[in-house]
Each structure stands twice: as structure tokens, then as C-alpha cells.
Structure 1
């Protein structure tokens, strides 16, 4: 059983504290209990984040759903990711929560702990998960209850540019056996044999990569109760040492260039410019780096001995606990994750479909890079790696904290040991 329900971080708690008052006033909605008809359908609201292309596709899917379900109307609400969570907090506090909304990261735990999310067990007749692997279904479970349904899965991967390897005269590694030491050595070798400005790799400061690192060392990033980090000081230190060694060996760029590269759009990164051989990245981003380079996707180093990479939700769907129409909302989610026509339109935009039949059906329709992602995720699925517990409340800032301490290490402002201590102390304060 995957358990994690606890109080949210202080910043989010201040907003969610208003939820209890706001939510009690939602049950009196004039639509509550209404049975929709073709002449007078019920209306549900669906909120998600994304760009204009995603919004256009989603509106097309909504129209298809409405045509198939004429007693239900769906009001779509698209928001840029940078402002999505602030908007959600405002709506929930104001008692105007969308019926269905997209989620990710630590938010399911934070929202579920305050009663914002509907226990989807109450609408299990409307949502079919029989075509999804249990591993994918369990991604939405907290304390044994199903609070979200994955919209699609992705995973941390090693994106590789074979052209850079070939130009440097370096062979591609065997990703079933290579180690992190091999990774650093190969990166340095490629940088040495490549034109100035081309590198073997780039230092990575991603909390999901750190989670993989912890799992490969027999630890977890967070403790089971979510109240503190589970990674040890020694293991965190070795992670910072890896990035420092990658830079000092010449395998990765300088500290300043690393910071610049980390904030660039995918096509403007070293990988996007064809100046990098290897880059740790989300599998769903492979197509964003280049439309022409024959990029490949490999497993991270160290996965052969004790694998740590898991399939995770790139986006999840939840229903408001105070929705006036939970069954209709559930029918809409079911359409999004189980309907073939919807899948052919959405494709892998929200991650690869968890429904295995839909994934098989859309794979031939995908671009070559997306098909490579599908094959990579199949390899991970065969490894059957148990995912970690849901991200705990208070962990939303972990990525920023990790990146800050990693930057201090690269610029020589902190030793890997001091960075590990500071990182652990600060994140534990956020969790507590």
C-alpha cells in the first residue's frame, strides 16, 4: 500500500486553510442533483495547463465527447503552467473549483490531505482502468485510495546524439551494463575529441534524477511518512560530487554555461544545437531538441545493478470532492484515457497513454522520436520497477533548492559535503 497523507507546506497551508470554509459552501450548487437532458445538459468544467496547440487539441476532444454524450457540456479552461497552480489555489479558496482538473508533482498529496479531491472509488463504475498496468494505476493512489488517474506516463532518460559520438570516434555505451563512472569517462573523452564548444554531457540537478540516484543506492529520496528526506548525507554528497567531477573532467560545460543551458528552451540547449552527446532528460522531451538529428534514448547509468528509474505520471486527472456532477466528470475522464478517437488526437502530448491498447494503436501514428520514447518506456515497464511513494506535501520547492546548492558546488561556493548538508536541512524544514 502506498501511503502518504500529511499536512501541506506552510505556504500552501495558508491558502488551503481557506478551502474548508469555501468548500462547505459548494454543496448548494444549483446544478447539484440535476439530471442532464439533450435539451438541458449539465455543465462540467475542465482545467489544464499547456500551450495553444494543446488547448486546440483538447477543445476538439471536448467537442467529440459532447457529441457522444449530448446530456453533458464541458467548459474547457486552459492556463500556462507558470500560473496554473496559483489560479487553482484561488479558485479552490473561492469555492469555484473546476469539476475535473489536471495535476502533477506534490499537489495530489497536498490537495488530498485537505479533502479537495474526490475518492475515485466512489465513481469506479464510470472509470475503467482494466486496460492499464497496475503500476500506472497505483500512481494515483494515496493511502490506499484512488485520487487521480494518469493522463500519460513518461520517465527520466538519457537522450543521446549518435552524430556527436560518431564525430568523436567514440562508441555508444551498453545501457544495460554501463556505470556512472563510465558515463563521466565517456563524456570527458567525447569533449576532448570534439570541436571546442561541444561537450559529452551536462551536469544535471533534477530532483527526479536525485531520486533515481538514491534508489540505486538502496535509499529513497523521501521518508515513508513524508516528513523528511530519506536520502543520506553520503549519498547526496556523492550526487554533487558526480556533477563536479563531470565539469572538472571537461565532460560537461563550465558552471556559467551550465546555468545558461539549464534555463534555455530545448531547441536552444547544447543538445538542441547538436553540441552535446548525452543529456539526462524527460523522455517526452526528446522530440523538442531536434526535428532532424537521429537522437536515441537510453537507460541511465547504473540501472543494470539496482534500477531506480520508474514510470511516472506526466499529468494526472482529478475530480473536485465538491463537484455537483462527479459521475459526469468521471465519464469525461474515462473518455480522455480510454477512447481511441481521443487518443488519436492527443497522442503522446500528455505522456504515453497508460491504456496499453490505446498506446499500441497510436504508436504507428507517432513521429519517429516519439516512437523511440514509446520503445524506451516499454523497456522500463518490462523491468517492473516499483514507483516511489507520491511526492509529499511541502516538496514542491525541492527542485529549486537542489538546483541552488548544485550551482554553488559548480561555482566553488560550497563543497559537495556542505551542499548535501544544506540541501537536506532546508528541504527537511520545508517538509516539516
Structure 2
């Protein structure tokens, strides 16, 4: 775990650095995180004339089709520059990813390089002792982190080891269709909008168009924000239990249930029909709001084919709830026989300017300061908006919570399950809050 003060210093450094670079040039899953449960496996043909095949790396990540396509381009570039390396790839949606990884760990068949998430999943896999300590590769210079802030590097540490190299930084955001809201006479979000404003705008769009007023909310991340904006936390400070009053979760469940009853909030069967980022309701003009991570805006906007805007989550006390986070990490399997080559690939991914121009901020604001400077002059309008949003949150957010206890991934899965039971009216909000607390505290106690 890293200290909050250190990460807060990092956040200000990164956002201010990029802002200066952008100015000088004149000029980047859960909230829903992926393409559903499908898995795609590929071997990249670099097209090079090299002998190839001397080293084979397996690489796995979660994400959208856009992330997949861009990552494959970066891999092709790496293979062109390293013709002795062949990279076999697998990608899937966020939920399917963790199921697949768990099966791989159980079967002793992990990929060499894998995407890893901050918080509950880093805690879980650190506890399983299946990730390699990357500090020796940093010390040898194989992975050059000299242009990455120390605080951000600390976010990849767990159990006294460096288990992940950060790939970017992002934040929760509300993506909205400004034109759809204006056509319905609804208020456009600003820095001071509230949950009541969200509900009123959703109702106005639904009444005017007959479409939904919002996409559904991903309970884990959004309720964590909801607790923070109300001066509480999902987990308590010493990571031994929950950190909020049950009434808060009851209120959250009731809010979303009420919106579903009004027809402004889609039922779960509709949400599950639109799991892929490229198939979200806002893409098809069937809802004006979508809640997700800022690094997913590139894929969402590309799929929509029209301008979308960003706002922080609804208030009051938005700054207390909002936070910036490491977007994700690359980790290396502890049992990989190709750790040196895996480390070289990670170094290339975070430090090569050409590779980062291909990725174009899809995994969040680049972590290497020189890469950020190089990208600043050529940002498209979508990435410029994303980077400015991250910069704005540097002054309007609070330190991230890092107090995820062992078993927290199971806890968050339980939260998702009881939320579904509320939306299907199998449990009342009060019954669901009680059941979740019992399950969560039992899980945490068992995992201590």
C-alpha cells in the first residue's frame, strides 16, 4: 500500500505537467469495463523478414475492441523492432478476464505478461504470490521508470514488492450527449450538478423521447464514490470491515430502484444486452448519460461517431467523492520463463513514443513525462477533452482509498449480486444492505 499524501503529490505533478505541455504546444473497467465475456486469442504477424520465434511471450488483457485493435498495432511494432519475439495474445471483457485468470492460476498456466487492476485485484493476486517482483528489472534498467513519478510507482507495490508497472492514470466520469439533453430541454451537467439534476435530466429525456434517461450504474465503483461524497468509505481505515452506515447503501439502492420504476433507468436484461462499450445505450442515442472510466471515452466516442462531453459524477460534495487512480498495470507471472523479455516489452509499452502515439491515451494519461510532452501537440479533440478533464480533477478531487482488505474482490462481487436482487425486486433495499454487510464482513474475516 502507498501513502495517500504521496499519491496526491503524484496526481498534482502529472496533471500540471501535462497542462504545461499542452499549453506550450498549442494544443487522452466496473464503471463498465470491457467487451463482455468473449475471449479472443491471436498471434500477431509482424510482417518482418526476421527469423522470429526465438522467444514466445503470452500477453493477456481486458478491454474494448478499440483497446484490442490498438494493442495489436503496438505488438506488431514491437515485433518489427524485435524479430526474434513472437507474441501470442488473449483479450476479453472485464468480468470474463478475472474468471479466466483465476482458472489459469489454478491450472498453473498464467500468461507471461498480464494486465492487473489497482485495489481489490492487486490485493488478491499479491496474496496468491503468483506475480513476479519487478524491482530487479527496474534496478537493472530493463524497465526504465526514471520518467515516472515515484508516487505512481508506489501504487504498483503490494506486500513489500513491486508487482505492477502503471500504464496510465484515469478517473470516473459521466459521459453525456449534450445535444440529446438540449433537445429535451434538460440541464447540461456542470461542476455543481447533483443527483437531483441527474434524475431531472433523465426524466426530461425519457418524457420527450421515450428513450432511457441514463445508462445503468456499475454498483462497486459508483457506490464507493457515493460513500466518499457522503464522508464515508467502502472499507474502514484498517481494512478489517466496511466503512459506511447501512442507511447510505439503502439510499443508493432506493435511488436506482426508483429510477427503474420511472422507466428512466434500464432494467438489468437491457443492461446485459449492451455490455460491450461499442454497444452502450448512449452509442445508439438511447440514453444521454453513461458512467465509466475516462480512459474508455476514446472507444465510446469512436463507436458513437459524434461528439460526447465529460462531467464529474453528480454532487453535492463532488470533490470529496472524486479521485484519480492508476488506470491499470502490466504484471509478469512469477513462473514465467521469459521474464527478461516480458520486462523489455513492458518497458517498450510505457516508454516508446511511437507506441504511445498508437495507443493515443486509450489506457489513460501516459505515465512517462517525455511521452506526455510528445503527445501533447497531436491530441485529437476527444483526447484533449480527456486530458483536460484529468487536469481539472487534480484540483477537484480527494486522495484515492487504498484500504482494500484481503477478499475485497469477493466482497465487491457480493455487492453486485445483491444489487441485482434489488433491481429484480427479490430483496428490498434494506434487506439487501443487511445481507451484503453479513456476507462482506464474513468474507473479510475469513480472508484475514
Indicate whether 1:123 and 2:133 are aligned: no
Q: Does 1:243 align with 2:253?
A: no
Shift of 1:297: 0.6
Question: Structure 1-normalised TM-score?
Answer: 0.77
Contact 1:136/1:311, CA 8 A, preserved across alignment: no
Superposition deviation, residue 59 in structure 1: 4.8
Instruction: Please identify, of 76-85 and 414-423, the stretch whose mean Cα deviation from structure 2 is larger.
Output: 76-85
Counterpart-to-counterpart distance in 1, 2:430 and 2:240: 22
Aligned partners of 2:234 and 2:244 also within 8 Å: yes
Q: Shift of the alpha carbon at 1:228?
A: 3.0
**Correspondences of 1:384-423 after superposition (within 5 Å):** 385-389=398-402, 391-423=404-436
Q: What displacement does 1:168 show?
A: 1.6
Trace 1:210-225 onto structure 2 (pairs within 5 A): 210-225=223-238
2:203 to 168, 172, 188: 188
Query: Aligned runs of 1:258-337 on 2, under 5 Å?
Result: 258-264=268-274, 265-286=276-297, 287-288=299-300, 290-302=303-315, 304=317, 306-324=319-337, 326-337=339-350
Distance 1:144-1:383 versus aligned 2 partners, 3 A rule: farther
Distance 2:74 2:201 in 1: 45
Counterpart check, 1:344 vs 2:357: yes
Other-structure match for 1:141: 157
Distance 1:189 1:83 in 2: 36
Corresponding residue for 2:437? 424
Cα deviation code 1:203-230 (max 9, x no counterpart): 4242011111111122221234544332
In the superposition, the TM-score normalised over structure 2's length comes to: 0.75
Q: Does 1:45 align with 2:57?
A: yes
Aligned to 1:113, what secondary structure does the other structure show?
helix
CA distance, structure 1, for counterparts of residue 375 and residue 257 of structure 2: 41
Pairing 1:159-174 to 2, within 5 Å after superposition: 159-174=175-190
Q: What is the SS of the residue equivalent to 2:321?
A: coil
The 1:420–1:92 alpha-carbon spacing in structure 2 relative to 1, beyond 3 Å, is: closer
Cα distance between partner residues in 2 of 1:86 and 1:238:
31
Aligned mates of 2:258, 2:322 — CA distance in 1: 22
Does the alignment pair 1:252 with 2:264? Answer: yes
Do 2:225 and 2:322's aligned partners in 1 also have CA atoms closer than 8 Å? yes
Change (3 A) 1:63 1:183: closer
CA distance change for structure 1 residues 69 and 277 in 2, over 3 Å: closer, same or farther?
closer
Rg (Cα) greater in structure: 1
Written as runs of structure 1 = structure 2, the 5 A alignment for 1:84-103 is: 84-103=97-116
CA distance in structure 1 between the aligned counterparts of 2:102 and 2:416, rounded to whole angstroms? 25
Is the 1:100–1:320 contact (alpha carbons within 8 Å) kept by the matching residues of 2?
Answer: yes
1:24 corresponds to which residue?
none
Q: Structure 1: which 5+ residue stretches go unaligned? A: 4-37
Pick closer, same or farther for the CA change 1:45–1:214 going to 2, 3 Å.
Answer: same
Tell me which residue corresponds to 1:114. 128
Matched residue, 2:390: 377
CA–CA distance in 2 between the matches of 1:408 and 1:40? 52
Deviations 1:99-148 (Å, cap 9, x if unpaired)?
Answer: 32222263322221232222222222322334334553333122453210
Conserved in 2, the CA contact under 8 Å of 1:102 and 1:315? yes
Q: Partners in 1 of 2:82 and 2:218 — Cα distance?
A: 45
Could you tell which deviates more after superposition, 125-134 or 228-237? 125-134
Deviations 1:361-396 (A, max 9, x none): 335555533432222222223446322216444333
Shift, 1:40, TM fit: 11
In the alignment, is the contact (CA less than 8 A) between 1:2 and 1:143 conserved in 2? Answer: no
Secondary structure of 2:242 counterpart? coil
Contact 2:180/2:288 (8 A) holds in 1: yes
Query: Could you tell me how far 1:55 is from its partner in structure 2?
Result: 5.3
Offset of residue 172 of structure 1: 1.5
- Please list, as runs of the form range in 1=range in 2, the aligned pairs for 1:1-80 lying within 5 A after superposition: 1-2=1-2, 43=55, 45-50=57-62, 54=67, 57-65=70-78, 68=81, 73-80=85-92
SS of equivalent to 1:150: strand
The runs of 5 or more residues in structure 2 that have no matched partner are 4-49
Name the Cα RMSD after superposition.
3.4
Question: Contact 1:155/1:310 (CA < 8 Å) preserved in 2?
Answer: yes
How many residues are aligned here? Answer: 391
Question: Aligned to 1:151, which of 148, 167, 172?
Answer: 167
SS of the residue aligned with 1:386? Answer: coil
Using the alignment, how far apart are the partners of 1:61 and 1:139 within structure 2? 25
**Secondary structure of residue in 2 paired with 1:131:** coil
Is the CA contact 1:408–1:414 (under 8 Å) kept in the aligned structure 2?
Answer: yes
Q: CA deviation at 1:399?
A: 4.7
